[in-house]
Amino acid sequence: MRAILVGPPGVRDRLRWDLETRSIEVVGEFDTIVDARRAGLDADIIVSTPETATRDSGLGIRDSGLGARDSGQDGDRDRVLEEALTHRELEVLELLAEGLPNKGIADRLGISDQTVKFHIASIMGKLGASNRVETVRRAVRRGLLSL
């Protein structure tokens, strides 16, 4: 999995260490989420802290549960974060879980095959999955789907 780190240098150092112990490759580091998005780097997740997500509010960041560990400061915890799925991505994910092919999803939602393909790629990236089955499995584990 490839990640972009966001936050102040000291925070990024802690996040980098935590991710590297999980074999996650860091492909870029930025002070803000806005800067990370502008860079256009190819990554599976954007990793940040709650403080950074709050400062750059409105960008759909959520806790992934990866790498949460006690920071030892006032009981706060550093959290690895990733982008939340959009409403449309959740609709596509539900139909994906039903086993529909891209064409079937497109027909049900009244969108093009290419748009479905784009949404599935985005969902897979946000969940850190490499195929459709793994995408559904990860979504179930995170409570995004119930089968």
**Do 30 and 53 lie in a common domain?**
yes
Domain interval for residue 53:
2-83
Tens of pLDDT, residue by residue over 64-89, are 433 333 333 333 333 333 577 888 99
For 118, the token pair is: 């784009």
The answer, as to whether pTM is greater than 0.85, is no
The verdict on residue 31 lying in a domain is: yes
Count up the domains in the chain and report the number: 2
**Do 76 and 134 lie in a common domain?**
no
* Residue 37: closest CA among 6, 1, 2, 78: 6
Tens of pLDDT, residue by residue over 111-126, are 999 999 999 999 998 8
DSSP 88-111: HHHHHHHHHHTT--HHHHHHHHT-
